[in-house]
């Protein structure tokens, strides 16, 4: 019942240097793919892939949050009652394990597998991969959620007091502390395309933040109840939100327009988007994976589903593998989702098979290229665009300083020709040929000015009409 086929559309995406292709789960004619169980998939595939489905029974220390490192080799699990462990999940090699004796709200890897951050009950702690506590950052208190911006080396934290704080992990300084004034922040996502932080709020709005502004960049009303989960795809085009009104909505984040929404009988408490665009939604004890969510077609039925035994608390796709990690009340489950991961990695960027030397080289280059937080905005390519506004400003100042416009075209002076071709009449004829071009510019300018003036007058008269309602108008001069 399971075939590894290579759909042609997937193959045409990467035509160069393609080592691996993507294959999806395909069922028999009358079989729904979401009824195929994980155990069956694990039996049907080879041993290595089959071992990617496993369960860690950790029922003592509360529901688990998880984070995969950027290369996908290491997994960090943090239980709410204080259990923090980091594992190389493919070899099941335990790197470190400890109990921090406090509530753990969130765990996150920093730029390499050498350090991770744990948001504990009061403060933010940074540990080494061996479990040695490196820093206790007291400035970051009551942190509920964290997101790491890899190219800026910024750890963004959302706190219960409504503060959004950014910590630069390469120099160890707090870059920005923004008082969002929107209450308790416990829904957070990052847009990997432009490093903007998305926060979901109990009044159904999603706000977008950058460390350069004290106010949000954008505020969108997404749901009629509280927003419970957010996910943004890697190209920065689509945002998937789920709320207490039991709806799952897909928005186009570039134009801020809703694309489609679907009704889930129980609202999704966790959302995660894979590198290839598969969406996983967790409702209670069930995880459902949807295909082809991003786009204009509404989603119909799930691609895969899995039922667990504990309440789901964390959901994350492993970067270059077909694996979905689920943290729940009874521990951790790793689920096989064919077609989820990007098969072709770039060895010079994030390389799951990198050696010690390669990692060192990559770290140095990444630190040298670290983007400054001032460049975070809705459009990451803004530096490459022409700054028309300041050009015009400078041009105006230049005209004032010089007294004339250096870019203005000179009036057309026709060349004098020989053999009687430059009589007065001939010159006038030549001038008239060019004259209408200059005239056209002048006419266009005057027409523009006139329309602008008329618009202003209209607006003023509209204001007058609307403003006439006040009874105190007769006292206004």
Partner 1 sequence: QRRAIPFTLGVPRNYDPTLHPFEVPREYTRALNATKLERVFAKPFVASLDGHRDGISCITKHAKSLSTIISGACDGEVKVWNLPRQECLRTVQAHEGFVRGICSRFCGTSFFTVGDDKTIKQWNWEAPGYGVREEPINTILGKAVFTGIDHHQREGTFVTCGQTVDIWDEQRSSPIRSFSWGVDSFSCVRYNPVETELLASCASDRSVVLYDTRESAPLRKVIMQLRSNTLCWNPMEAYYFTCANEDYNLYTYDIRHLDVPVTVHMDHVSAVLDVDYSPTGREFVSASFDKTIRIFPKDKGHSREVYHTKRMQHVICVRWSADNKYVLSGSDEMNIRLWKANASEKLGLLSAREKAATHYNKKLIEKFQHHPQVRRIARHRHLPGDILKQKRELREMREAQRRKEQNVRKHSKPGSVPLLTEKEKHVVAVVE
Angle at alpha carbon of residue 398, lines to 395 and 401, rounded to 5°: 155
* Structural tokens at position 86: 């980091």
Least distance in angstroms from the C-beta of 85 to partner 1: 29
Please report whether residue 408 would count as binding partner 1 according to CB under 8 A. no
Nearer to partner 1, 394 or 440 (CB): 394
Q: How far, in Å, CA of 431 to CA of 457, rounded?
A: 39
- 208: which strand partners? 198, 218
Nearer to partner 1, 181 or 365 (CB): 365
Which residue reads 């009044």 in tokens? 203
Q: Binding to partner 1 by residue 325, rule CB under 8 A? A: no
Stretch that binds partner 1, among 16-24, 168-176, 330-338, 433-441 (CB under 8 A): 16-24
Contact predicate 319/341, CB 8 Å: yes
Using CB atoms within 10 Å of the CB of residue 179, give its burial: 0 to 12 exposed, 13 to 18 middle, 19+ buried. exposed
Return d(Cα 293, Cα 315) in angstroms, integer.
17
Give CA 332 to chain center in angstroms: 25
C-alpha–C-alpha distance, residues 439 and 119, integer Å: 68
- Number of residues located near partner 1, criterion CB under 8 A: 38
CB of 287 to partner 1, least distance (A): 25
Cβ pair 38, 306 in contact under 8 A: yes
Residue pair 433/439 in contact by the 8 Å Cβ criterion: no
Tell me how far, at minimum, the Cβ of 445 lies from partner 1, in Å.
21
User: What is the phi/psi pair of residue 457, to 5°?
Assistant: -60, -40
Question: Residues 226-255 vs partner 1: string with x where CB under 8 A?
Answer: --------xxx-------------------
Q: How far is CA 83 from the centre of its chain?
A: 29
C-beta atoms surrounding 222 within 10 Å: 22
Q: Judged by CB, which is closer to partner 1: 33, or 194?
A: 194
Residue selected from 265, 381, 420, 425 as contacting partner 1 according to rule CB under 8 A: 381
Q: Which is nearer to partner 1, 357 or 477 (CB)?
A: 357
With CB under 8 A as the contact rule, the residue among 375, 378, 399, 427 that binds partner 1 is 375
Confirm or reject binding of residue 372 to partner 1 (CB under 8 A). yes
In angstroms, the CA 302 to CA 297 distance is: 14
Nearer to partner 1 among residue 357 and residue 419 (C-beta): 357
User: At a CB cut-off of 8 Å and minimum separation 6, what does 373 contact?
Assistant: 152, 154, 166, 168, 175, 176, 211, 212
Binding partner 1 (rule: CB under 8 A), the pick from 14, 80, 135, 430 is 14
Residue placing its CB nearer to partner 1 in the complex, 265 or 381: 381
Which x/- pattern, by CB under 8 A, does the window 327-356 give for partner 1? ---------------x-xxxxxx---x-x-
User: Rule CB under 8 A: is residue 19 a binding residue for partner 1?
Assistant: yes
Which is closer to partner 1, CB of 143 or CB of 208? Answer: 208
Which residue of 8, 9, 12, 16 would you call a contact of partner 1, by CB under 8 A?
16
Site for partner 1 in 136-155 (CB under 8 A): 151
- Nearest approach in angstroms of CB 14 to partner 1 is 7
Of the candidates 18, 12, 13, the one whose C-alpha atom is nearest the C-alpha of residue 343 is 18
Q: Which of 101, 138, 403, 442 binds partner 1 (CB under 8 A)?
A: 403
DSSP letter at 298? P
404 or 475: CB nearest partner 1: 404
The answer to whether the CB of 261 falls within 8 A of the CB of 249 is yes
Binding track, positions 77-116, relative to partner 1; x by CB under 8 A: ----------------------------------------
The 158-197 contact track toward partner 1, x by CB under 8 A, reads ----------------------------------xxxx--
At 466, phi and psi to the nearest 5?
A: -70, -35
Distance of CA 189 to the CA centre of its chain: 7
Interface residues toward partner 1, by CB under 8 A:
14, 16-17, 19, 151, 192-195, 234-236, 342, 344-349, 353, 355, 357-358, 368-372, 375, 380-384, 401-404
């Amino acid at each position: 019942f399971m075939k590894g086929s290579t759909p042609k559309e997937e193959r045409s995406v990467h035509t160069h240097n393609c080592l691996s292709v993507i294959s999806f789960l395909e069922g028999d004619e009358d079989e729904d793919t979401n009824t195929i169980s994980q155990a069956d998939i694990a039996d049907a595939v080879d041993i290595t892939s089959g071992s990617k489905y496993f369960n860690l029974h950790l029922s003592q220390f509360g529901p688990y949050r998880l984070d995969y490192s950027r290369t996908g080799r290491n997994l960090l699990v943090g239980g709410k009652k204080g259990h923090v462990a980091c594992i190389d999940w493919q070899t099941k090699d335990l790197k470190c394990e400890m109990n921090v004796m406090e509530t753990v709200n969130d765990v996150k890897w920093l730029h390499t597998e050498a350090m991770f951050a744990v948001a504990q009950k009061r403060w933010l702690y940074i540990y080494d991969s061996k479990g040695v506590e490196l820093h206790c950052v007291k400035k970051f208190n009551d942190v509920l959620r964290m997101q790491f911006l890899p190219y800026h080396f910024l750890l963004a934290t959302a706190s219960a007091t409504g503060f959004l704080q950014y910590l630069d992990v390469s120099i160890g300084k707090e870059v920005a502390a923004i008082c969002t004034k929107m209450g308790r922040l416990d829904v957070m996502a990052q847009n990997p395309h432009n490093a903007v932080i998305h926060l979901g709020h109990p009044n159904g709005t999603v706000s977008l933040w950058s460390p350069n502004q004290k106010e949000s960049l954008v505020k969108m009303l997404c749901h009629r109840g509280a927003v419970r989960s957010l996910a943004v795809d890697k190209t920065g085009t689509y945002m998937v939100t789920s709320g207490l009104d039991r709806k799952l909505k897909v928005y186009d984040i570039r134009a801020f327009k809703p694309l489609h929404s679907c009704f889930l009988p129980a609202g999704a408490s966790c959302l995660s988007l894979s590198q290839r665009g598969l969406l996983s939604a967790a409702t209670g004890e069930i995880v459902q994976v949807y295909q082809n969510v991003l786009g204009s077609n509404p989603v119909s039925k799930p691609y895969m589903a899995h039922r667990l035994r504990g309440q789901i608390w964390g959901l994350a796709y492993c970067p270059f593998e077909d694996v979905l990690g689920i943290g729940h009340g009874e521990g951790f489950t790793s689920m096989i989702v064919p077609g989820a991961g990007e098969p072709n990695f770039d060895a010079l960027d994030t390389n799951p098979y990198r050696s010690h030397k390669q990692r060192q080289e990559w770290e140095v280059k990444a630190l040298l290229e670290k983007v400054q937080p001032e460049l975070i905005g809705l459009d990451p390519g803004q530096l490459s665009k022409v700054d028309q506004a300041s050009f015009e400003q400078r041009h105006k100042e230049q005209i004032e300083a010089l007294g004339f416009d250096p870019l203005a075209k000179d009036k057309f002076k026709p060349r004098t020709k020989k053999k009687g071709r430059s009589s007065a009449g001939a010159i006038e004829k030549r001038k008239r040929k060019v004259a209408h071009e200059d005239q056209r510019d002048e006419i266009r300018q005057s027409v523009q000015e006139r329309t602008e003036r008329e618009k202003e007058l209209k607006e003023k008269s509209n204001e007058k009409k609307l403003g006439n309602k006040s009874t105190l108008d007769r006292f206004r001069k």
